[in-house]
Structure 1
Amino acid sequence: MDNNKLEGVALKLFDINAVKFGEFMTKSGIETPVYFDLRVIVSYPRVMELITSLLCDIVATKVKKYDHICGVPYTALPIATLMSVQAKKPMLLRRKEAKAYGTKKMIEGHYNVGETCLIVEDVITSGSSVLETVKELNKEGLVVNNAVIILDREQGGRKNLETNNVNVDALFTMTELIGILEKHKKITKEMSMKVRNYLTEVKAPVTGSSEERMLLSYEKRAELTSNPVAKQLFNIMSIKKTNLCLSVDLTSSIKILELLEKVGEYICLVKTHVDIIEDFSLDFITRLKQLAQRFNFLILEDRKFADIGNTVLLQYQKGLYKISEWADCVTSHSLPGEGILKSLSTPCNGLENRGVFLLAEMSSEGNLISPEYREVTVNMASKYPNIITGFVCQNKDTFKDPGLIQLTPGVQLESAKDDLGQVYNSPDKVILDNGADIIVVGRGIIAAKSPEAQAVIYRDTLWKCYLKRVSGKLE
């Protein structure tokens, strides 16, 4: 490759403010002192022409065969278009989401099953955007073995992609680009060193195959987790042979305790909403903990924290309920940012073995959690492995780490929907298709004529689905 042209492009990117220095947040949820805004290149035809030419040179040298070109939406689309014209290769267009009308296709263009496609991307950090595009192309029977990119941030994206059988070739690595800018005195040595240190210290989360998580046993996954509560839950599930969580959405502490006396033997976790209990008392908490110890289940307070860090810390430790003193784990939104996880990871009352389930998805119809929000939530959690137990979600592809737990609500023996928009799925769907590890059941047991008998049915049904999943016999 022509080094003079490469340096020229690097300097042009700096001049047009496509390379920025300061404090930024990447799509992967990682803080960074340098940010690449390559969307601006559409206003600079000569820069686009130079980048296209250099990328085509890489492809001609490194990629043996490809039938199509597909740009990752949206920044890479102009470059992919120019590459398609220069290389005389047909282009495919991947949509971010399917249209609600017409063909509803995710991939637009003409192609045949078994043909190969080259991915074009602007920047990779974790590689997740490339993998999303690969997934959609694979669904159409297309083969993806190669991706060509403008910038590799050197934070794990290349490794993640190669783990998923996608070879990566880049115009620049972060180190190379920073070196050029320092050489031409566009940035100081101090800034160059700051970025280099950042590259050494901060990596994107590993993106592996969701199938690996689904096929591993709870015993094996207990060995892979960093969170003590997740380890406890995996072990409890293995010993008791249950992945059932009971949601006790009752307003009477007496009824809650009576119910747990009947069904405690069949559950691994109980989910409470302590603020709806009308006769709450410290005696209730004492008896709840006694039942948890006797029947070997853990307690999840479904508080869904969603405030600034200091307020959440007070909600967690203080007030009438003093949640931190008795709940093994809690639920939390990621909306306020990392401050909420910092507060929940603060050791309190000498108790450090606590866990958090972050809400990455919800089961209610019309909820506002977007794919982008979900991805940032998962990446944010990767910075707090000791406190994160898992995610409340509906989709097996939400996260890959087998040491974390997928907690899935909205389950009944038959799929249904209630009058308030709560959608219920069947055990087969949530475990075999959607990847649930612990399944939350509420009214399906509480409203039954015999909650004990119904709990046994749920426990046995859910456990059979889990055994079927880890056997690999999903058909």
Structure 2
Amino acid sequence: MDQTKLKELGLRLFEINAFKFGDFKMKVGINSPVYFDLRVIVSYPDVMDTLTDLLTEFIKQIQVDTGVHLCGVPYTALPVATLISIKAKQPMLIRRKEAKTYGTKKLVEGKFNAGDKCLIIEDVVTSGSSILDTVNDLRSEGLVITDAIVVVDREQGGAQNTEEQGVRMHSLFTLSYLLNVLLEAGRIEEKTVQAVAKYIEGAQIKSDGSFMKNGTTVINELSRAGMTFEARADLAKCPVSKELLKLMASKKSTLCLAADLTKSEDILNLVEKVGPYICVLKTHVDIVEDFSDNFVKSLQSLAKKHNFMLMEDRKFADIGNTVALQYGSGLFKISSWADLVTVHSLPGQGVLKGLKSVLTDPSQQRGVFLLAEMSSQGNLATDPSNKTTYQRIEKIGQTEVDVGLCRRGRVFRVPILVAFPGLCC
């Protein structure tokens, strides 16, 4: 590896503001004195060319088994992976963040066979969660992943986190190396190096968003209240929860509208007016006097037009088999159109199993809000049942159909969406 060329690239990245110093809110929810944005390199062909040459040489030097395919972590690493693919004459795969809901509905694009090896390419690594998301999706398609090539390792636990999942991480740059290059070139002062080094030592982040502090794992330090919706979306395990958080971020809204009207025309007129401002429309279809399939189609059309989700506040609370019939059959066929439903937690796991049994199409993404509290006077959803519901969520986290809790106030200790009158957060 040409160290002179490597140092020159480090300085060039600093010159084009691919990384900078200050006080920045990170994706994982904590502040950082240094920020990397390698997206800007696409505007500098000379940087792209040099980076591609160095990465290709680096891959050969460390003798990584490149296998058959390359795959860039979406989306910033895709241009880099593409250039390496061309230069090294290796086929490339593209992993989508979400499977298409049309056409072939593929999550991984490209030609491959189960058992093929694939080398991951990533731009910047903090906790390694983005690499692991890609690894999990590729492995689910039968691909073998053992190594990842990274442009910059922030040295905050990413290498250890990926190693624990059987993926060795190899970085062209480390944050410490770049700091020393800038210091030697007189671009930064020693106090900046020391400040960043202290930050790295005190913020070793795990893939689940927790981090190490004085050798102790701190679970709730990165609380929901201190994280952006985008960061929480990256950590969400449930696809619908992930999508809802992204929607909340893009619309800059947490509003859930309860359309408790009895005429379909009144509901549709209301939704046409408020649709641009809400994230979720909550319905009670069993009170709609003139319910019809056309009404559902109109609701779905408005949801697509104004970008919001549909929640049927059904409050399922029966045995699994009955719930399955209520969800997928009958007059309302709720599973065919409602992105979200509400469910009482009191009947236990059978309710969720019943709902899951209806969802046989992988492209049919659906979610559940568990009812932890009610506002009605004299209700029996009291503290003991609330605590059991919270414990269940904390124990198993979000499954493929779990999204959040319904209650009357915020809960910061549970890393999941909470819906209370008027809002999701």
TM over 0.5: yes
Indicate yes or no: 2:97 matched with 1:99: no
**Mapped partners of 2:159, 2:121: distance in 1:** 14
Offset of 1:82 from its aligned partner?
Answer: 0.6
Aligned to 2:255: none
**Mapped partners of 2:238, 2:85: distance in 1:** 40
Encode CA deviations 1:209-236: one digit per residue, 9 max, x unaligned.
Answer: xxxxxxxxxxxxxxx9978xxxxxxxxx
Matched residue of 2:71: which SS? strand
Indicate yes or no: 2:197 matched with 1:201: no
Aligned to 1:250: none
Aligned to 1:428: 353
Matched residue of 1:92: which SS? strand
**Conserved in 2, the CA contact under 8 Å of 1:364 and 1:423?**
no
Aligned to 2:212: none
Offset of 1:191 from its aligned partner?
Answer: 1.0
Aligned to 2:164: 163
**Mapped partners of 2:147, 2:205: distance in 1:** 20
| AA matched with 2:244 | L
Aligned to 1:129: 130
Q: Specify whether residues 174 and 361 from structure 1 end up closer, same or farther in structure 2 by C-alpha distance, changes over 3 A only.
A: closer
Aligned to 2:152: 151
**Conserved in 2, the CA contact under 8 Å of 1:153 and 1:173?**
yes
Matched residue of 2:145: which SS? strand
Matched residue of 1:192: which SS? helix
**Conserved in 1, the CA contact under 8 Å of 2:29 and 2:227?**
no
| AA matched with 1:46 | D
| AA matched with 2:2 | D
Worse-matched range after superposition: 8-17 or 53-62:
53-62
Q: Specify whether residues 360 and 150 from structure 1 end up closer, same or farther in structure 2 by C-alpha distance, changes over 3 A only.
A: closer
- The alignment covers a number of residue pairs equal to 278
Offset of 1:2 from its aligned partner?
Answer: 1.5
| AA matched with 2:352 | P
Q: 2:246 aligns with which of 358, 362, 370?
A: 370
**Conserved in 1, the CA contact under 8 Å of 2:95 and 2:109?**
yes
Offset of 1:136 from its aligned partner?
Answer: 1.2
Offset of 1:79 from its aligned partner?
Answer: 0.6
**Mapped partners of 1:6, 1:171: distance in 2:** 9
Aligned to 2:112: 111
Aligned to 1:61: 61
Aligned to 2:293: none
Matched residue of 1:120: which SS? strand
Encode CA deviations 1:344-387: one digit per residue, 9 max, x unaligned.
Answer: xxxxxxxxxxxxxxx979999998323997xxxxxxxxxxxxxx
Q: How does 1:45-56 map to 2 (within 5 A)?
A: 45-56=45-56
Offset of 1:132 from its aligned partner?
Answer: 0.9
**Mapped partners of 1:180, 1:112: distance in 2:** 43
Matched residue of 1:368: which SS? helix
| AA matched with 1:181 | L
**Mapped partners of 1:109, 1:362: distance in 2:** 25
Higher RCO, 1 vs 2 (CA within 8 Å, ≥6 residues apart): 1
**Conserved in 2, the CA contact under 8 Å of 1:119 and 1:130?**
yes
Offset of 1:19 from its aligned partner?
Answer: 1.3
**Mapped partners of 1:97, 1:153: distance in 2:** 26
**Mapped partners of 1:199, 1:225: distance in 2:** 15
Encode CA deviations 1:127-150: one digit per residue, 9 max, x unaligned.
Answer: 111111111111111111110010
Offset of 1:65 from its aligned partner?
Answer: 4.0
Output the TM-score relative to the length of structure 1.
Answer: 0.50
**Mapped partners of 1:119, 1:366: distance in 2:** 23
**Conserved in 2, the CA contact under 8 Å of 1:68 and 1:89?**
yes
Aligned to 2:31: 31
| AA matched with 1:145 | T
Aligned to 1:385: none
Offset of 1:183 from its aligned partner?
Answer: 0.7
**Mapped partners of 2:218, 2:35: distance in 1:** 32
Matched residue of 1:144: which SS? coil
Encode CA deviations 1:100-135: one digit per residue, 9 max, x unaligned.
Answer: 211111111100110010000000001111111111
Aligned to 2:182: 181
**Mapped partners of 1:73, 1:360: distance in 2:** 16
**Mapped partners of 2:31, 2:241: distance in 1:** 33
Instruction: Report the identity percentage.
Output: 42
**Mapped partners of 1:25, 1:225: distance in 2:** 19
Offset of 1:441 from its aligned partner?
Answer: 7.0
| AA matched with 2:353 | D
The unaligned stretches of length 5 or more in structure 2 are: 210-216, 229-234, 250-313, 328-333, 344-350, 360-364, 397-425
Matched residue of 2:245: which SS? coil
Encode CA deviations 1:77-98: one digit per residue, 9 max, x unaligned.
Answer: 1110010011111000111222
